[in-house]
Amino acid sequence: MNPEIIVDKLASFKDRACAGPNEKPVLDYLSSLFPENEIVLEKFKTPKNYLFIVHWLILGLVFGLLLTPRFDIFGLLIISFFGVSAILYFNWYASPVTKFPPLVESHNLIIKGNKQSKKKVILMAHWDTAPISILYTPSMVGNFRSSLKINILLIVLAFCVSLVYWIFPSTILVWLSRALVVYFLGQLVVASWDFYKFGYSNGASDNATGVGAAIATAQKLWKENLPNLEIELVLTGAEEVGMIGAKAYYDNRIGTWNADTMLINFDTLGAGNLKIITETGSWGNIVYDNELIQIAKEVISKDEALGHVKLGAWHTADFDSVWFQRAGVQSVTLGALDQNGRMPNIHRETDVLENVNSKPVHDAVEVAFAMVKKLANS
Ligand SMILES: [Zn+2]
């Protein structure tokens, strides 16, 4: 199937918010594309969007800071808990706050190939769209990683203030903790403002394009009927909450991951040039360097038509592949970046069909298809 047809259809929904009114029609449409495959609708619990998590983290820290001058040890404990939770969450580790209420139910759509094999390639893309955020405007997005780092340092400062107050209480520490309260509440307003104004993004690029590319690749590969290779297509939900659907998929199969299972993830292919993403992460770097990456490099170096496809780095939030990469599962994300290394329009009201260029979508299908064929022959 031509991926553009899928992109067009997905973009015809106003948005694809996790657990929103369009979740069921979107998943029904996607399911309808596979009349011949076994389909599993995998249920999981998640906060409705990341702003619920950000509210818990910031209000928890603020509560701890306000408590410190009166009940120092309780303040310190609360700051420690929410501080550690925040640091885990913003470095894309499992964080306890993702289990805090209110939780909603969302779904991954798993489409099985028609054969089972020891060797397996998972093609993944998230179907959900994100709250619109001022942090993704062109003037702000360049500072995304550094502002995350500053916030992490200020969380550590909040902990230090509370710890020192517990040992040597002083008025200056009370004022410092109040200044931090004002700063954190300001961050909450900044992070939420555009969501209250605009709601969720349409997500034509992020990530209707990825879904279109993953489906087109899977269908092409199923047709090839490659021997000894199973292809599974996984369309995840709640990626925009914090890669929650991919985590649920990963956790539900713990014990099954081995060197014979590989993951190709497709995320945001609607502008710029296709990149093999080899580096992500916020505080530290997460480096993808595995056999799959080597195969991707071979594919792009040997095919002249793919000469413009390069390696790339992305440090503004992360991808569904992060859980697999951290666990040592061979994985890669294919995404598209513009000449400034950015993904234009994502998480903004301008992430609509008119701004989508389908070239990187087709390139991603070509690269992934060639990679899997190489894998099958190796
Ligand atoms: Zn995305």
User: Domain end: 198, 221, 239, which one?
Assistant: 198
CA of 36 relative to ligand 1 center, distance in Å: 28
CA of 310 relative to ligand 1 center, distance in Å: 19
Dig out the tokens for 168 from the structure.
Answer: 């040597």
Residue type, position 260, single letter: D
CA of 206 relative to ligand 1 center, distance in Å: 5
Dig out the tokens for 256 from the structure.
Answer: 């099954």
Contacts of 155 (CB under 8 A, 6+ apart): 61, 83, 86, 87
Same domain assignment for residues 117 and 21: yes
CA of 4 relative to ligand 1 center, distance in Å: 17
Dig out the tokens for 201 from the structure.
Answer: 């993004």
User: Domain end: 183, 198, 213, which one?
Assistant: 198
Same domain assignment for residues 255 and 193: no
Give the domain extent around 278. 3-47+104-132+200-377
Residue 228's pLDDT is what? Answer: 86
CA of 251 relative to ligand 1 center, distance in Å: 20
DSSP one-letter code for 214: H
Q: Residue holding tokens 């061979």?
A: 330
CA of 289 relative to ligand 1 center, distance in Å: 21
Instruction: Check if the beta carbon of residue 106 is closer than 8 Å to that of residue 44.
Output: yes
Residue 377's pLDDT is what? Answer: 87
Same domain assignment for residues 259 and 156: no
CA of 29 relative to ligand 1 center, distance in Å: 20
Same domain assignment for residues 234 and 363: yes
CA of 370 relative to ligand 1 center, distance in Å: 23
Same domain assignment for residues 285 and 170: no
The DSSP string of 100-147 is: PSSEEEEEEEEE--S---SSEEEEEEE----B--GGGSHHHHTTHHHH
Residue 339's pLDDT is what? Answer: 95
User: What CA–CA distance (Å, rounded) separates 377 from 321?
Assistant: 24
User: Domain end: 144, 168, 198, which one?
Assistant: 198
Longest alpha-carbon distance in the chain: 72
User: Which of 20, 15, 92 has the alpha carbon at shortest distance from 53?
Assistant: 92
Per the rule left: phi > 0, alpha: psi between -120 and 50, beta: everything else, 117 is beta
CA of 16 relative to ligand 1 center, distance in Å: 12
CA of 126 relative to ligand 1 center, distance in Å: 7
CA of 377 relative to ligand 1 center, distance in Å: 31
Instruction: Check if the beta carbon of residue 92 is closer than 8 Å to that of residue 282.
Output: yes
Same domain assignment for residues 114 and 241: yes
User: Which of 376, 280, 284 has the alpha carbon at shortest distance from 87?
Assistant: 284
Q: Which helix (H) or strand (E) holds 39?
A: strand 39-47
Question: HSE-up of 105 (CA within 13 Å, CB side)?
Answer: 4
CA of 49 relative to ligand 1 center, distance in Å: 13
User: What CA–CA distance (Å, rounded) separates 231 from 134?
Assistant: 38
Residue 74's pLDDT is what? Answer: 95
Give the number of other Cβ atoms within 10 Å of residue 168's Cβ: 8
Peptide bond into 3 cis (omega under 30): no
Residue 227's pLDDT is what? Answer: 86
Same domain assignment for residues 150 and 128: no
User: What CA–CA distance (Å, rounded) separates 94 from 144?
Assistant: 21
Task: Give the pairing of strands 103-111 and 39-47.
Answer: antiparallel
CA of 124 relative to ligand 1 center, distance in Å: 11
Instruction: Check if the beta carbon of residue 238 is closer than 8 Å to that of residue 44.
Output: yes
Same domain assignment for residues 214 and 240: yes
Same domain assignment for residues 94 and 114: no
CA of 268 relative to ligand 1 center, distance in Å: 6
Same domain assignment for residues 13 and 65: no
Total domains in the fold of the chain: 2
Residue 114's pLDDT is what? Answer: 76
Instruction: Check if the beta carbon of residue 320 is closer than 8 Å to that of residue 236.
Output: yes
Going from the first residue of the chain to its last (378 residues), give the mean pLDDT of each consecutive group of 10, the final group possibly shorter: 97 98 98 97 98 98 95 94 97 97 98 89 98 92 91 97 95 97 97 96 98 98 92 98 98 94 98 97 95 96 94 95 96 97 96 98 98 92
Residue 115's pLDDT is what? Answer: 80
HEC per residue, 317-371: CCCCCHHHHHCCCEEEEEEEECCCCCCCCCCCCCCCHHHCCCHHHHHHHHHHHHH
User: What CA–CA distance (Å, rounded) separates 231 from 110?
Assistant: 11
- The domain spanning residue 327 has which CATH number? 3.40.630.10
Same domain assignment for residues 66 and 140: yes
Same domain assignment for residues 184 and 92: yes
Which 3 state secondary structure label does DSSP give 43? strand
Contacts of 264 (CB under 8 A, 6+ apart): 121, 122, 123, 124, 217, 292, 331, 332, 334, 368, 371, 372
